[in-house]
Structure 1
Amino acid sequence: MSDTGLELTETEGLAAEHALGVLTASERAQAERRMASEPAFAQAVDDWRRRIAPLAAEVAPVQPSNEVWPRIERALPVNDNNPQLARRLAFWRSATVGAMGLAAASLMVAVYLGNRPPVVIPAQAPAVMPMLNASLNTEGGQPLFVASYDPVRQALIITSLVPPGTDPLHVHQVWLIPPEDGVPRSLGMVEPGTAKTVPLDASISDLAHEGTEIAVSVEPLGGSTQAGPSGPVAAIGALGQI
């Protein structure tokens, strides 16, 4: 909502959503291209960031127990075809990319959950294994993918930040590389601009822990023709707790 109480225009709404970090990967890429070509839109995004910063600063930090966030993540219904759910998932996963995601998370929690009664967690609640996360970056440090591993469901969720249609002649193949032997295990392909959940069988899930690397290689259509990556590794990162 704007300062005057009027509804935001489409442009203002997009600028606000980009400043909050709640756009999907494809929407974010489109917004950033628009910022590069439209100075007025870029200024609108900066204006919203300045508005958001003091609001986030006023939110008193609260340290949840180690069990809260894993439960929230597992309670979210993963549906890559639902734009609203994908936007919300992209918002929380963006915390691995930079501090802006953390500030936006504090603001959104205050707005949406501030008027609800507190959730009481039983003192004797069983221990929950934490989620592991990784930002997959290029050699230059640019994040291209975000990965999250749920040790309870034994599933890896990988999100591509690459704009759709960037390279129609190649595919992006995901690899799990444990530090024990350094041997890549293929986890299949991920489409640009989408999120994919990959269930891991017992032989691979035992190798997914802190320090295990997740890599994405650029391969010919159909994937690698050998046991490991046959094309260049576009991005790589190690799993760990946030």
Structure 2
Amino acid sequence: MSEAPDLTEAEALAAEHALGVLDARERADAENRMARDPAFAADVEAWRQRLAPMLDSIAAVPAPQGTWARIERRLPANDDRMAPANDNGRLLDRVRFWRNSAMGGFGAAAAALVAALVVGNQPATVVTREVPVQPQGQLLSASVVSQDSRVQPLFVAAYDPDRKQLIVTSLLPEGSDRDKVHELWLIAGKENPKSLGLVESGKAKVIALPTELLAKMADGAALAVSLEPPGGSKNPDGPSGPVIGVGKLSKL
């Protein structure tokens, strides 16, 4: 079955960054891009606002006892209060620290003055920033869980009706598909399941939904994932392999 068209590289990166599924290197690249590309930064912020309601469903986890004390002990500033007043070595270290800090401050001030003179002689650059559009439609989410006795979460999904996009994140280990693929389905009412395309283990995907499926993305509809041969189901009326997970769409 045909798969809905994906977003552009920039749109998908913005959504994945807002969702928090990038690794350290990808996240650093995205942050650098936000710093130099106001449009991309605005797109990330828009996704963050749309996904923010999902945080309400996550219970707070208190930090382990003694965490803050351990952080304080690691801070360089706390070395001074632990040193005896007659400890000449520590005193010398502190003198060097403040002397170096002062020299660094003078250096920074001089550099700032030079930069100001250089910038002052350059033509003004106008930077415009797009204002994120406030969401108008009702966000929906679903947790696709296994159908065996373990009831294990397999995928999570969030639907943004304003952008007509579905973000699906796999909770399975990357590469666990092996010789099979996971196919995502929309189940609405008594109609046959509609394929939303393939989803990879351990990855997130942004799916732009075709027009004919938009009205079916509603509270009470369900998402399902089936295990299929490479290329997806050959059955035009639904999955050809076993359905491994199901989850209902509900309002955030």
Identity of counterpart residues, as a percentage?
38
Amino acid at match of 1:137: V
Match of 1:157 in 2: 167
TM-score, normalization by structure 2:
0.50
Cα distance in 2 between the residues matched to 1:97 and 1:218: 30
> Taking CA–CA contacts closer than 8 Å with sequence separation of 6 or more, which of the two structures ends up with the larger relative contact order?
2
Instruction: Go from structure 1 to structure 2 and tell me whether the alpha carbon gap of 1:231 and 1:172 turns closer, same or farther (over 3 Å shift).
Output: same
Deviation at 1:133, TM superposition (A): 0.2
Cα distance in 2 between the residues matched to 1:127 and 1:96: 14
CA RMSD across the alignment = 3.6
Cα distance in 1 between the residues matched to 2:134 and 2:245: 36
- Where 1:77 maps in the other structure, the secondary structure is helix
User: Could you tell me whether the CA contact under 8 Å between 1:144 and 1:235 is conserved in 2?
Assistant: yes
Match of 2:205 in 1: 196
* Pairs within 5 Å for 1:57-68: none
* Pairs within 5 Å for 1:1-242: 77-79=14-16, 82-83=22-23, 101-104=58-61, 128-139=136-147, 140=149, 141-179=151-189, 181-227=190-236, 228-242=238-252
Cα distance in 2 between the residues matched to 1:173 and 1:198: 13
Consecutive unaligned residues in structure 2, runs of 5 or more? 1-10, 28-43, 63-132
Deviation at 1:193, TM superposition (A): 0.4
For residues 5-56 of structure 1, the C-alpha deviation after alignment (integer angstroms, 9 at most, x for no partner) is xxxxxxxxxxxxxxxxxxxxxxxxxxxxxxxxxxxxxxxxxxxxxxxxxxxx
Higher-Rg structure is 2
Cα distance in 1 between the residues matched to 2:182 and 2:231: 10
TM-score, normalization by structure 1:
0.52
Consecutive unaligned residues in structure 1, runs of 5 or more? 1-73, 106-124
Amino acid at match of 2:166: L
Instruction: Go from structure 1 to structure 2 and tell me whether the alpha carbon gap of 1:133 and 1:166 turns closer, same or farther (over 3 Å shift).
Output: same
Amino acid at match of 1:102: A
Cα distance in 1 between the residues matched to 2:220 and 2:201: 25
